């Protein structure tokens, strides 16, 4: 059994749909980072997505064993919606964007990926890590963290999307057996 400590990267302060766009994280809140690092298990290996905001957040957790960055832990790919504001997209394609958020599943942004595609790749990444260590710290994004919750709690996509996942928060769970210990914890 592996306990996953899912950490959402530091804030980007973007007011747009940011998925695969590689924006840096604001890691200026050193007190929050110190509390976060102290809350996480000592000696547990750290893996992050390959986007700089996740890598920099993982680096800020201090000296811990590091695993190779994994692109399967990236945020959802928003395709043609990347870096655009919700209101702008809604004015252009209201039916698709509402369906995308209200009934997550197979609906994808133009040139992007669906919720089901994101869950498939992020679940596969966690399955590869399963059993490799008792505790693993995963620095990722809203989408992969909510996807892990969906699986661990056996939720519908709509119910999973109802979870709030703040920047620099910790969600702790196991997948085998499925059990959730903390959601959106701010140490």
Contact by Cβ (8 Å): 47, 137: yes
Check 9, 77, 113, 141 and give the catalytic one.
Answer: 9
Q: Please choose, from the candidates 65, 64, 63, 51, the residue with its C-alpha nearest in 3D space to the C-alpha of residue 8.
A: 51
Catalytic (active site) residue 88:
no
Catalytic (active site) residue 34:
no
Check 75, 77, 113, 141 and give the catalytic one.
Answer: 75
The catalytic residues are 9, 75
């Amino acid at each position: 059994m592996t306990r996953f400590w899912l950490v959402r990267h530091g804030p980007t302060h973007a007011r747009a749909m940011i998925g695969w766009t590689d924006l840096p994280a604001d890691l200026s809140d050193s007190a929050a980072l110190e509390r976060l690092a102290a809350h996480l298990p000592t000696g547990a290996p750290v893996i992050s997505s390959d986007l700089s905001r996740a890598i920099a957040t993982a680096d800020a957790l201090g000296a811990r064993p590091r695993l190779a960055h994994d692109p399967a832990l990236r945020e959802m790919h928003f395709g043609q919606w990347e870096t655009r504001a919700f209101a702008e997209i809604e004015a252009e394609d209201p039916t698709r964007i509402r369906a995308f958020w209200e009934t997550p599943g197979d609906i994808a942004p133009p040139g992007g990926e669906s919720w089901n595609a994101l869950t498939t790749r992020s679940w596969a990444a966690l399955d590869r890590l399963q059993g490799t260590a008792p505790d693993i710290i995963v620095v990722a994004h809203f989408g992969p963290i909510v996807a892990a919750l969906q699986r661990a709690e056996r939720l519908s996509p709509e119910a999973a999307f109802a979870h709030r996942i703040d920047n620099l928060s910790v969600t702790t769970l196991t997948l085998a057996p499925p059990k959730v210990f903390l959601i959106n914890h701010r140490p």
